[in-house]
Amino acid sequence: MLLCLISLFSYSQTKDKVTDARSQKIEAIKLEIEKATSDSIRLNLRLDLAGELAYFDGNIAKEIFLDVHNIIKDKGYKSYYYKKLEAELLYSMSSVSLDLQDTEAALKYANDALAIAKEIEYDMIIGRTISNLGNIYSRQMDFEKAKRFHKRALVFHEKAKSARGQVLTLNRIGRVFSRQKKIDSATYYFKKAIQADTAKALKLQVKGNLASIYANSGNYELAGDIYRENLKLLPPTEYKIRAHNHSNLAKVYDNQKEFSKANAHIDSAIFFSKKVNALYLIQWAYHTKVGIAHNHKKFSESYEAFLIQDKYKDSLVKKSTTKRFADLEFAYQYKREKELTAVNLKNEATKKKLYLSLLIITLIAALFLIYFIRKNNKQKLELIANKAKLAEVEKLKTDLALANREQELKKVVVESSVREEVFNTTIDDIKQVTALEDEKERKSALRSISASLLSEKDAKKSSLSLQTYLDEVNIDFKILLDQHFSELKPKEKELLCLMKMELSTTEISKLQNNTVAAIKSSRYRIRKKLGLDSKQDIIAFIENKNITL
């Protein structure tokens, strides 16, 4: 007992220095708040102040958190910075409420913090809040749900690269397994937490929980050594961890039948628990004190401790509180399901709009495709028609060439016939001349035959030369006449070709070995066949006919 008192006295000497330092820090934060020129700075400093004050009084810290939250809501701050600030303070309010045994408020604030943190994808607070929910369900003795929340929290801690968050959550999982008497699993998670790179105080806290495993297994010496080493190494202001170690060391001494040491350490646990107003730790310390006093036949002390414990008794064991907690949990589940349903409905509506848009786009694309296919087909048809026309023109040209060739052959035949006729006539004439007895008459008759032959030769030569010239110069015009004016005779077509060459009537008569009157008569007949009067230009009419076609 004396040793413990000396320990408390020496701690109080150190504690006063630390408290002074913490008080100085609190005063410094207050001065910064007064100098702050904007809410963004001022509200953040007030959260820091509440965090420092939470060491001494959770209720005061909670009031500050609530006031900051109300300012954010009343002023309508909705930027990312304020959303982040709001998520942090709601998480802190959940932690403080849990320390104050207000599990209903802890659950409410945790769910609110989680909703905002998810909205802005704040992984660190998501992980811490989910871990807090696991702690809440652990208090409710719902260990399976607690483990599920803690394991989900680990995913976000790893994503946020938060070593402290991982260690805290691994430690909490170990404690859940420990409460379920699953020693191997608890040991695994405690050792895994110790291996992580984090603050010394947190490691010592985990070591203390591992020592509890050894104590529950009957290895009191090893457990006691760990608790004593922790108390030496812990920073003076780690009140909660100190309270845990003193309380567990008291149980070790109680099992070793050392009542005075056990009682001294449980009083230290109560002292440190009250320093931070940690109601759960106070209740648990008094519960341990009841057992220690009872085991050592100190029944009056045990009864007094029981009465005090009853004042701090965890509200979670009360039926009315449990029912309210269950109702609140159901309300949050219903709210999440409702939000999920709304999101699903919105997604369905979005899908419908998307499908409708795709259908419209598909229809437009189909219409464009049909249009281009039809246009392409039309072009193909036009191309085929043009090819057919070209083929028809080529056929006509071939037919005309064949007709011309046939005409030429006929001319050759006719010429041969004419030549033969001339030859026969000449022979007959010569026979008649040879029959003449008078020399003068014979010579005169021979000269007449010779002149007739020369005249026939010149006329034929002229006719052939003219025909060849017309074929070379006016072949297109001649084709036009042959194609569209089949009612005209060859001589009439020849006359039109000469007219196309802008020759006068006299010039034409000479070329055709005909009289002017005969040429005029031929033109009259042509006009009559074409239905033209004397004022209309025959050549212009024929050429216009070609353009119209």
Domain-wise residue ranges, the chain: 236-317, 341-435, 474-548
Q: What is the pLDDT of residue 7?
A: 44
- At residue 148, does pLDDT exceed 90? yes
Q: Which of 313, 314, 311, 289 is nearest to 302 (CA)?
A: 289
Domain 474-548: CATH architecture, name and number where available = Orthogonal Bundle (1.10)
- What secondary structure letter does DSSP report for 291? H
Assess contact for 166 and 137: CB atoms under 8 A: no
Helix (H, G, I), strand (E, B) or coil at 260: helix
Assess contact for 49 and 26: CB atoms under 8 A: yes
Q: What is the pLDDT of residue 450?
A: 63
d(CA 19, CA 31) in angstroms, rounded, equals 18
Average pLDDT over residues 371-383: 83
d(CA 507, CA 501) in angstroms, rounded, equals 11
- What secondary structure letter does DSSP report for 141? T
d(CA 506, CA 517) in angstroms, rounded, equals 10
Q: What is the pLDDT of residue 420?
A: 64
Q: Identity (one letter) of the amino acid at 229?
A: E
Pick the residue with more confidence: 379 or 89? Answer: 89
CB proximity list for 172: less than 8 A, separation 6 or greater: 131, 134, 135, 138, 146, 150
Q: What is the pLDDT of residue 470?
A: 55
Which among 75-84, 371-380, 420-429 has the top mean pLDDT?
A: 75-84
Q: What is the pLDDT of residue 133?
A: 92
Question: What crossing angle do the helices spanning 259-275 and 279-295 adopt, rounded to 10°?
Answer: 170
In the chain, what is the straight-line distance between the N-terminal and C-terminal CA atoms, in Å?
A: 133
Average pLDDT over residues 260-275: 89
Lowest mean pLDDT among 8-22, 202-216, 237-251: 8-22
Q: Which of 243, 288, 291, 292 is nearest to 268 (CA)?
A: 243
Pick the residue with more confidence: 509 or 450? Answer: 509
Q: Identity (one letter) of the amino acid at 273?
A: S
Assess contact for 170 and 200: CB atoms under 8 A: no
- At residue 290, does pLDDT exceed 80? yes
Query: Could you give the dihedral angle defined by the CA atoms of residues 506, 508, 510 and 516, in that order, rounded to the nearest 10 degrees?
Result: -50
d(CA 144, CA 141) in angstroms, rounded, equals 9
The Cα-based distances of 178 to 138, 154, 169, 434, 445 in angstroms read 11, 19, 14, 162, 160
Q: What is the pLDDT of residue 327?
A: 53
Assess contact for 193 and 206: CB atoms under 8 A: yes
Q: Identity (one letter) of the amino acid at 304?
A: E
Domain 236-317: CATH architecture, name and number where available = Alpha Horseshoe (1.25)
- What secondary structure letter does DSSP report for 38? S
The encoded tokens of residue 469 equal 């010239």
d(CA 361, CA 1) in angstroms, rounded, equals 87
Assess contact for 496 and 526: CB atoms under 8 A: yes
- At residue 24, does pLDDT exceed 50? yes
Percent of the chain at pLDDT > 70 equals 77
The encoded tokens of residue 281 equal 């730790």
Assess contact for 247 and 231: CB atoms under 8 A: no
d(CA 140, CA 162) in angstroms, rounded, equals 27
- At residue 132, does pLDDT exceed 60? yes
